[in-house]
Structures are given as structure tokens and as C-alpha cells.
Amino acid sequence: MSRPRIGLTLDVDDALVRYELKRVYVDAVLAAGGLPILLPFGDEQVAGAYLALCDGLVISGGVADVPPELYGEARRPRCGPAKPVRTQSEWAFCEAALAARIPVLGVCGGMQLLNVVRGGTLFQDLSDDLGLGCHEQPPPKDRPSHAIEVVPHTLLASLVGDQQLHVNSTHHQAVRTPGTGVLVSARAADGVVEAIELPDVPFALGVQWHPESASAHDDRHAAIYRGLVAAARDQRR
């Protein structure tokens, strides 16, 4: 059987002159048995056309924040820069994928967007909102630096096990209020949400860390991409 086609959303540099994506995302999809498809920006109509070519979707991470106006809050000083065109496109991809029941994996900022698409909210800055500043790890960014507790009997637990997992989180925002139908499936020791999922669709998972990088140190992270590709293969059938 041919490889399931996995769409990967792209970042863009500050001058809006080129698309960008870390190679490790592509490598993770290939290693899991998928065929990476890079997805340029587009509106709702374009997003649906692109997703018609895909069996699964990865909403990648990046340095921009989800605009707080999208979850009903005014921007505060510690909220980071936004990339509205990217966010608009990824929102369209995410909504279209969920409506079509196409498997979705949200990574880092992609997890936060997944929650906001479902009507959830975010902490705009963990330091300001909770007095926490320990979730932006120093280099090397690929090496897991802190532990999370995985909730048993969840999709995440079926992939990585329900024992403690060490992750490589680098973020200053996090899920505050889970959106409609959003299940929290992992937390850090300080209570920060590290993973979410949507039990009402076949496969929709968000992780606050970067499993595509951390898999070099623990193969359980690679199981997340293998799970996505397996779900995409089932979707194709």
C-alpha cells in the first residue's frame, strides 16, 4: 500500500518572503511511514482543496502566538508577536480536517490553536499569569528536560504508555480553559497542560512539546507520529 499523505503546515519568515519548516517534521513523517506534503497558506476554500490531497494533518509549531482576540481577550504586554496570515490559514486547515474527520496532530503552537479552534482559551504568558517561567528550556532544544504525567486510557496513553514521560517543551503560553470536547491527556508537575485530544473524532491530538525532535532520545515520542500515520492509513481505507 502507498504511504498515507500527511500535510504539514508551514511557517513564514518575518519579511513574508519565504516559507519555512524544520526538516525534522518531514523526517518524522517519513520515518513513521507517511509521505509529507507541504501546505502553503490559503483561505477556507483553498484549505479544503489541499486537504482533499491529504490523509492526515500536522499543525506545526513556531515562534508566533495565537492572537488573543480569537479567544475573546485583549492583548496584554507579555503576549508574543502574531502571524495573522499563518494563523488564519492553519485555522482553516484545522477546521476542515476536523469536519472531514481527517487525523490531526497539533505540535506546540499547533496544540494551542487546536484548543482555540474548539472554543478554548490560553494563558497569554505563564510568567505573568501563573508566575511560572520554567517551560522555555535552553539549548539543546531536542533533549527532554522535564517530566509529564500521562492520563491513563487516553489516545496519548495508547501511543506512549501511561507512565511518566520526559518532554522538550519550549513555550510561554499554554491551554487555560479546554475547548468544547477537549480532553486534557497530560500535565506537567506544576499543572500546566502538556497534551490535549478530541475523543469525538478518530484521531486529534495536541502536544505542547516537540516529539519529532525528542524521538532521538526516546522512541516513545516517535510513536506519536506512527499513530498519526496509522490513523491516516485507516482514514484512506
Number of helices (H), then strands (E), in the chain: 8, 13
Active site residue 197: no
Helix residue ranges per DSSP H, the chain: 23-31, 44-51, 84-99, 109-117, 126-130, 155-160, 211-214, 219-236
Q: With CA atoms as reference, report the closest residue to 19 among 62, 51, 49.
A: 62
Active site residue 108: yes
Burial-class residue 43 by CB neighbours within 10 Å (0-12, 13-18, 19+). Answer: exposed
Q: With CA atoms as reference, report the closest residue to 160 among 222, 232, 228, 231.
A: 222
CA distances from 78 to 126, 157, 214, 235 (A): 9, 33, 28, 41
The active-site residue out of 54, 108, 172, 221 is 108
Residue 154 CB contacts under 8 Å (≥ 6 apart), including other chains: 162, 183, 185, 197
The active-site residue out of 135, 171, 210, 221 is 210
The active-site residue out of 90, 194, 197, 212 is 212
Active site residue 95: no
8 A C-beta contact, residue 155 and residue 197: yes
Q: How many Cβ atoms sit within 10 Å of the Cβ of residue 82? A: 16
Residue positions annotated with a catalytic role: 108, 210, 212
